[in-house]
């Protein structure tokens, strides 16, 4: 199985950021409203798919870089399990935080692309063999993989800020699973100090990748890269050990949840697409954000646990901005999230509502 590469789409500098812009190619705009961001880092890929410029897009995901652009542009973005798709030969060979994955206008196309991407790579020690049953077949036979019990949380029991309308739309739309005979219940394991632990772990990823560039070319790097890397250089061995213990405890809490629930569903993003001229939303649900990563924890919590997760469109807010669900499953159960997303997609028909012609608009007021 193979494909033809059409072009490289736009990304933030070094793929780091929740909005797609750089000094070379400028800003990529949201096709649903060109005054808004398409998200990042796979923003160019999301827009290419949404507008029909490309059938499929390949991107990376560390803290939602496939899931948030997918949500903002009303397409499907999958973060596979770590090791499912090779990352090539990066210096962070043994880190499960950043993965490569597919994006498309519908779940079936994402599954087909994942089949082309999956497999063992001798240069990437986390990879493993492609599945005996192709993901495309799991989606075609989604009814066989239908979740019996679905856990849903809009904001991890109030631990994370989420816009009110996003919470309401997602809480309503996740109930569509009940039409399939699935039990939908509100539940989320306690986050603990995961937000801080994630920033510690992420910062070490940046030290490995960017320490030499920071030393030699600091004046050429954007502030987000500098902030992540310098934070990592200040961390102590004790803090790194603490973050690893927090990660392990969180993985155990999620594993316990998955003994009861087949999939875990949250909003795909804490807030809909924001002003294209901003690096990140300044506030979410009326809460001012302390840093540019604070709006990504719905996605980052799943990243830390090594779970596969897919963003699938679920509707629009009152300003016409797309809203999506994030569906997660236990590690290496990628077929489960794809099947659940395919079943949900079949109930909404939103995969047939992509804006082939980009639409102009204005920036809506920020929710107080």
Q: What's the pLDDT tens digit per position in 170-194?
A: 999 999 999 999 999 999 999 999 9
Prediction pTM value: 0.97
Max CA-CA distance within the chain? 58
- The pLDDT value recorded for residue 3 is 75
Nearest Cα neighbor of 32 from 296, 284, 363, 281 is 363
Q: What is the mean pLDDT of residues 246-273?
A: 98
Domain ranges of the chain: 13-352
Hey, what CATH class is 13-352 in? alpha beta
69, burial (CB in 10 Å: exposed 0-12, middle 13-18, buried 19+):
buried
Report whether 304 contacts 69 (CB < 8 A): no
Write out pLDDT tens, residues 213-237.
999 999 999 999 999 999 999 999 9
3 state DSSP class of 9: coil
User: How high does pLDDT run on average in the chain?
Assistant: 96
Q: Is the dihedral angle over the CA atoms 205, 211, 217, 223 positive or is it negative? A: positive
Answer yes or no: is pLDDT of 368 > 90.
Answer: no
Percent of the chain with pLDDT over 90: 93
How far is residue 15's CA from residue 19's CA, in Å, rounded to a whole number?
Answer: 10
How far is residue 73's CA from residue 284's CA, in Å, rounded to a whole number?
Answer: 19
92-121 in b/e burial notation, b at 16+ Cβ within 10 A?
eeebbbbbbbbbbbbbbbbbbbbbbbbeee
- The pLDDT value recorded for residue 292 is 84
- The pLDDT value recorded for residue 291 is 86
- The pLDDT value recorded for residue 199 is 97
């Amino acid at each position: 199985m193979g494909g033809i590469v059409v072009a490289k789409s736009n990304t933030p500098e070094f793929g780091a950021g929740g909005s797609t812009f750089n000094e070379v190619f400028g800003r990529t705009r949201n096709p649903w409203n060109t005054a808004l961001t398409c998200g990042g880092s796979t923003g160019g890929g999301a827009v290419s798919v949404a507008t029909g410029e490309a059938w499929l897009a390949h991107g990376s995901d560390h803290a939602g870089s496939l899931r948030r652009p997918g949500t903002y542009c009303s397409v499907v973005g999958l973060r596979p399990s770590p090791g499912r798709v090779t990352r090539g030969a990066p210096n962070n060979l043994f880190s499960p935080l950043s993965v490569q994955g597919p994006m498309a206008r519908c779940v079936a196309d994402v599954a087909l692309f994942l089949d082309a991407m999956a497999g063992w790579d001798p240069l990437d020690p986390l990879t493993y063999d492609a599945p005996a049953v192709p993901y495309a077949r799991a989606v075609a036979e989604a009814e066989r993989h239908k979740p019996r019990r679905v856990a849903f949380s809009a904001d991890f029991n109030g631990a994370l800020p989420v816009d009110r309308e996003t919470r309401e739309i997602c809480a309503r739309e996740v109930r569509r699973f009940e039409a399939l005979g699935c039990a939908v219940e509100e539940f989320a394991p306690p986050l603990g100090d995961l937000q801080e632990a994630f920033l510690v772990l992420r910062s070490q990823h940046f030290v490995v990748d960017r320490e030499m560039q920071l030393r030699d070319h600091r004046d050429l790097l954007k502030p987000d890269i500098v902030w992540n890397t310098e934070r990592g250089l200040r961390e102590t061995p004790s803090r790194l050990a603490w973050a690893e213990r927090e990660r392990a405890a969180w993985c155990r809490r999620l594993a316990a949840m998955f003994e009861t629930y087949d999939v875990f569903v949250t909003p795909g993003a804490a807030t809909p697409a924001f002003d294209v001229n901003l690096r990140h939303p300044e506030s979410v649900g009326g809460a001012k954000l302390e840093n540019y990563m604070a709006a990504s924890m719905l996605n980052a919590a799943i990243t830390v646990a090594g779970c596969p997760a897919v963003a699938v469109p679920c509707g629009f807010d009152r300003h016409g901005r797309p809203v999506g669900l994030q569906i997660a499953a236990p590690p290496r159960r990628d077929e489960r999230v794809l099947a659940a997303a395919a079943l949900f997609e079949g109930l909404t028909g939103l995969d047939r509502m992509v804006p082939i012609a980009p639409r102009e608009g204005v920036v809506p007021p920020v929710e107080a």
